[in-house]
Amino acid sequence: MYDQQHRPLIRPALPPAQPPKTPAFAVVKLTPVETGTLLAFADIQIGRGPRAITVCKWRLIQPEGQQPWLSGPQETWTTDTGERRYTNLFVYPKEWRDGITVAAIAAWEQYRSEGRLPQ
């Protein structure tokens, strides 16, 4: 870019890029299922305030003898050859995985210990 006298415009230096902050995670709805390895469905709020979003249908799973883990919302479909396939409906940064999982497991443990769903 140039000014009216065709001299190059000098832009101020940009501040160094900051790594994105990890948002807050909260379970806003927990639906116990306890069928096979599926413990519950969870709706999880990501962020706070007016910019928060809620992602529904996370699955809390616990195979026998293992720690519970969280699976994101998925769509299941069948190929022409009859194979079951899965497509993720919500893609999120790996850095969020631990926070989302901790929130869901804490809500489940509260439900199991207190006999009530989180509020």
Report if residue 65 sits inside a domain: yes
How does pLDDT run across 28-71, given as a tens digit for each residue? 999 999 889 999 999 999 998 889 999 999 999 999 999 999 99
Domain range for 49: 25-75+85-114
Domain count along the chain: 1
- pTM across the whole model: 0.74
Report if residue 46 sits inside a domain: yes
Report if residue 119 sits inside a domain: no
- Tokens standing for 41? 């469905």
Please give the average per-residue pLDDT across 81-107, as a whole number: 91
Report if residue 20 sits inside a domain: no
Report if residue 32 sits inside a domain: yes
Query: Mean of the per-residue pLDDT values for the chain?
Result: 86
Q: Which sign does the torsion angle of CA 68, 37, 84, 46 carry?
A: negative
Report if residue 57 sits inside a domain: yes
> What are the b/e assignments for 1-30, b being 16+ CB within 10 Å?
eeeeeeeeeeeeeeeeeeeeeebebbbbeb
| DSSP class of 21 | P
